[in-house]
Amino acid sequence: MKTVLTIFGATGNLMHKKLALALIQLLKQKQIDDSFQIICVSRRDYTTEMYFEHLKEFVKSDIDLDVLKNNLEYVKMDIMDLNDYTMLRKKIESKSSFPYQSLFYLAVAPEFFVDIASGISNAKLIEKGNSIGRIVFEKPFGVSFGSAKEINQKLSEYFEENQIFRIDHYLGKDMIQNILVMRFANRLLENNWSSDSISQVSIDVKETEGIGNRGEYYDSSGALKDMIQSHLLQMLALVAMEEPKSLSSDDIRKEKIKVLQNTIVKTQNAVFGQYEGYLFEQKIPQDSITETFVFLKAEVSTPRWKNVPFFLTTGKKLNEKKAEIIIDFKEHSSAKKLWPNNNHTSNQLVIGISEYEGIRFQMNVKKPGLNDTVSDALLDYCHSCQKIGNNPEAYEKLLKDFIVNNSTLFTSWKEIEASWNIIDHLKKDLSNPVIYKSISDFADIISKVKRGV
């Protein structure tokens, strides 16, 4: 079916960094055909030509924007003016003859969600219950549980749940999708995926860059809302969930929700930091105490994870860009007795999400030769090395799923609700963050939280 995709917030950071490239790749790979039409909306007074000039300024220099030339049109719109939605409707209708699906991507801050959704609904750009009209909401979905609930209630007046797609681009990453395969297709892991064998789980998303030109958004958000509420808690849910009945989105979501509803973080188990120089970034108030680094010790109170801490770490301006999940196993109960004079490492499984995509498993082996010495060995599976041709980016995968109406990798309202409930109280109790130059500045305080002292 022919498709018209309208993107609100088309002059924003997400379009520059992710969406433009994802659309180019989908067109190039023929995942969407030449009839696919994109309408880019913002309040700036641009022509389509000027919009392309604008994009050129912000996207990476090696991105070939010409690929979009025949498929993209820019439209200036005031999102508060209902007449503009009627104008948009005419524009969309002029692009395609019936039947066609009309899709919307809201790459805007959550405070605009309801106004835009109501404009779309009023102008009958999407009709409630008719799934040829669907809408994506970029994260964060709300700024707290209260605001998210309010947004959700309003949206449910305009659309059915199956027309609403709440995006978390981490779910589109290949190695995140790999978590379920690893867990539920490998007997070895199935039998050891619990507190019987696992001592702790660490989920790290570290970044080297600062906040760039996103000061206004970032300062009202901070790492807790920008990263933990969505990406890191989704990763936690996938690691900790019980086996789903099937791979349908409903069954997977059901299990993830149970985990999120049983996850807590005590205030004393949270560490916050702000990178040195943050106050000199554009549009940051001089007295801002917004956190750009968070470390949390979370507890998942399901029988499977009794006494297993989940450590979540994320931050900007750190020494490396890396997203990974580290599963530390307990020592083998007999290793010390059988090889008393040897150092054994405990098994460790690392799921590399980015920049390294793969799985590393640390185990004990016998050293080669005539002796009886134990040493450690690292088994290394490089996932990205196996890929042939295009290595799809998360946004590419999720846009494609949205276009073909597959919601498996999008988050449900109940997941959003549960994750706000985990972190809302932390933001309220947020103390002044530690000013840091590097992650080592947190070594002592993190070690204390880990030890519970």
* Sites for ligand BG6 among residues 158-187 (CB under 6 A): none
Distances (CA, A) of 62 to 57, 278, 324: 12, 30, 28
C-beta of 63 vs 363, nearer to ligand BG6: 63
* Sites for ligand BG6 among residues 311-340 (CB under 6 A): 323
Please state the closest distance from residue 50 (CB atom) to ligand BG6, in A.
27
Structure tokens at 292: 């750009």
C-beta of 84 vs 396, nearer to ligand BG6: 396
Residues with Cβ < 8 Å from 305, sequence gap 6 or more?
Answer: 194, 195, 240, 299
C-beta of 22 vs 120, nearer to ligand BG6: 22
C-beta of 200 vs 354, nearer to ligand BG6: 354
Please state the closest distance from residue 109 (CB atom) to ligand BG6, in A.
11
Q: Does 291 bind ligand BG6 (CB under 6 A)?
A: no
DSSP for residue 416:
H
Query: Are the CB atoms for 132 and 99 separated by under 8 Å?
Result: yes
* Sites for ligand BG6 among residues 260-289 (CB under 6 A): none
DSSP per-residue letters across 50-61: HHHHHHHHHS-T
Query: Are the CB atoms for 293 and 274 separated by under 8 Å?
Result: yes
Distances (CA, A) of 238 to 178, 251, 252, 414: 10, 12, 9, 15
* Sites for ligand BG6 among residues 55-84 (CB under 6 A): none
Please state the closest distance from residue 126 (CB atom) to ligand BG6, in A.
25
Using a 10 angstrom Cβ sphere, with 0-12 exposed, 13-18 middle and 19 or more buried, the burial of residue 96 is: middle
Q: How many residues bind ligand BG6 (CB under 6 A)?
A: 4
Q: Omega into 99 within 30° of 0, i.e. cis?
A: yes
Helices 20-28 + 394-403 axis angle, to 10: 70
* Sites for ligand BG6 among residues 339-378 (CB under 6 A): 354
The residue count for the chain: 453
Cα separation, 93 vs 258, in Å, equals 43
Query: Are the CB atoms for 233 and 414 separated by under 8 Å?
Result: no
Q: Does 21 bind ligand BG6 (CB under 6 A)?
A: no
Cα separation, 351 vs 232, in Å, equals 14
Q: Does 226 bind ligand BG6 (CB under 6 A)?
A: yes
Cα separation, 7 vs 56, in Å, equals 17
Handedness of CA 230, 231, 237, 243 (dihedral sign): positive
Query: Are the CB atoms for 298 and 201 separated by under 8 Å?
Result: no
Query: Are the CB atoms for 16 and 61 separated by under 8 Å?
Result: no
Is residue 231 among the annotated active site residues? Answer: yes
* Sites for ligand BG6 among residues 231-260 (CB under 6 A): none
Please state the closest distance from residue 383 (CB atom) to ligand BG6, in A.
16
C-beta of 9 vs 119, nearer to ligand BG6: 9
Please state the closest distance from residue 110 (CB atom) to ligand BG6, in A.
12
Active-site choice (16, 54, 169, 231): 231
Binding residue (CB under 6 A) for ligand BG6 from 84, 204, 207, 281:
207
C-beta of 226 vs 415, nearer to ligand BG6: 226
* Sites for ligand BG6 among residues 386-415 (CB under 6 A): none
C-beta of 207 vs 281, nearer to ligand BG6: 207
Please state the closest distance from residue 207 (CB atom) to ligand BG6, in A.
6
Query: Which residue has its beta carbon closest to ligand BG6?
Result: 226
Distances (CA, A) of 251 to 57, 244, 279, 416: 44, 5, 44, 16
Q: How far apart are the first and last CA of the chain?
A: 60
C-beta of 221 vs 362, nearer to ligand BG6: 221
Please state the closest distance from residue 381 (CB atom) to ligand BG6, in A.
21
Catalytically annotated residues: 231
- Contacts to ligand BG6 by CB under 6 A: 207, 226, 323, 354
